[in-house]
Amino acid sequence: MVRLNKIIRAFTREGARAVRFTPEMELKRALMNCLLWEDQFYEDGVAIADRIKALVPKVAPAKVAQLAIEAREVMKLRHAPLLVIREMARSEKHRTLVADTLAQVIQRPDEMTELLAIYWADALGPMQQRKRQPVSAQVKKGLARALTKFDAYQLAKWDRDGAVRIRDVLFLVHAKPKDAEQEKVWKQLVDGELASPDTWEVSLSAGKNRRETFERLIAEKKLGGLALLRNLRLMQNAQVPRETIAGAIEAMRTDRILPYRFITAARYAPDFEPELEAAMLKSIKDHVRLPGRTRLLIDVSGSMFATLSAQSEMTRAEAACGLAILAREICDEVEIFTFSNEVVKVPPRRGFALRDAIINSQPHGGTYLGKAVTEIDRKGDRLIVFTDEQSHDQVPEPRARGTMVNVASYQHGVGHGAWTRVNGFSEAVVAWIAASETTLN
């Protein structure tokens, strides 16, 4: 006879005893760090996507919708929230919220085509040959509402070749334009007559002189902050004058750019580290502050140095460094430690010097988080841990106000008792910690 009355234990990938989560918490863990179908250090992207699919019907519809919106608006994820909405459309109890959620989640025109590609991905064979499943009424309503958000420039910029085009979405959902001007734009979209947008991608792909193109876009303030950071090396290779690039960095808007973006930019354009560091610290200046004493504990074990995606060279360790740089500036008192096989105290540096001190603090070995917490945890302090939670050893309950910031999508995590859990990395993490403490006090 099969014995049913038994304890089922969970363990991390490194063998530590893990916490068992509710379906809602497990969905949040899987979603908030998920670059859809991208492999992570311990799990491949397909396994993570399949877990998200299985969890959606187990979580209350309003909670699923809230998580999809949070993943898009707070964590800036694009594809994973669309997968969640596609799974909502399968579920009878969830599908009534699909239109509202989809209309809020879609923030770029190409996300409409991505949603349909995910929707039809179940069929076998190449996309062009698949028997496309009829799209649900709720999905059509959400797409129709989303279509009215975008102007001619946005539609032209993101109308790219693919199995599904933006005009296909328009034909599918029979959206109604909000006015005569939008009706005219949609006719131009259908007829392929939208004017090409004035972007660096269009200008460079048209074979125009790179230096002249970048100088013009900078002078006309048509190169956004992220585009500027991503193209620093290209501008250097095109021999754009240094003072022109430095001036653009100084003048750029930084309010929506996370510290780790500057870390990545500095890797490719180290000559501009002084300007990038100044811009990074400017982006932090008006951030909410964390009062009292704080101890930061940063995971530098081997799994933290896997890249975020196949297209990115940034690692989770660098993302954690970005959050540490932010926390260093806004904490009244702060001590910073790293852990792997050992626990190392990091000098109280700022900016890129702090990044270097964290990355080079010790060899990138095992994940002895329990040992590290035991060694540095002090009652009365605030303890913030940045980790992928795949610990070798048992993690004790915190004596301090303990926050575990999980920066990976793995199913199991560690930390029993009074740990507060945050999933995902963004500037919102530290603001959320401050707000939650205010609520509790």
SS3 (DSSP) at 34:
coil
Q: What is the pLDDT of residues 168-225, one digit of tens each?
A: 999 999 999 999 999 999 999 999 899 888 777 787 777 778 999 999 999 998 888 9
Please report whether residue 11 resides in a domain: no
344 within a domain of the structure (yes/no) = yes
Instruction: For 93-121, write each residue's pLDDT tens digit.
Output: 999 999 999 999 999 999 999 999 889 88
Structurally, the chain folds into a number of domains equal to 3
Question: Are residue 246 and residue 306 in the same domain, yes or no?
Answer: no
Task: Mark whether 366 and 381 lie in a shared domain.
Answer: yes
- Mean pLDDT of the residues in the chain: 82
Locus of tokens 């095109």: 238
Cβ within 8 Å of residue 264, ≥6 positions away: 229, 313, 314, 318
Q: Of 166, 191, 216, which residue sits at a domain end?
A: 191
Asked if residue 271 is part of any domain, the answer here is: yes
Co-location of 180 and 209 in the same domain:
no
Supply the range of the domain harboring residue 322.
Answer: 290-440
Would you give the DSSP letter of residue 207? T
pTM: 0.65
Q: Is the dihedral of CA 437, 71, 151, 214 positive or negative?
A: positive
Give the residue from 255, 284, 313 where a domain finishes: 284
Confirm if 290 and 20 have CB atoms less than 8 A apart: no
Residues of 403-428 as b/e, b for ≥16 C-beta within 10 angstroms? bbbbbbbbbbbbbeeebbbbbbbbbb
Whether 331 is in a domain gets the answer yes
Which tops the pLDDT comparison, 270 or 392? 270
CB 389 within 8 A of CB 411: no
> Cα separation of 16 and 13, whole Å?
8
Nearest to 383 by CA among 362, 404, 397: 404
Residue 62 CA to residue 58 CA, distance in Å, equals 12
Contact 76, 426 (CB under 8 A): yes
Between the alpha carbon of residue 397 and those of residues 25, 392, 400, 404, 419, the distances in Å are 19, 16, 9, 11, 7
The pLDDT tens digits of the residues spanning 2-15 come to 343 333 344 444 44
Residue 422, both tokens: 């945050």
User: Do 197 and 157 form a contact (C-beta atoms < 8 A)?
Assistant: yes
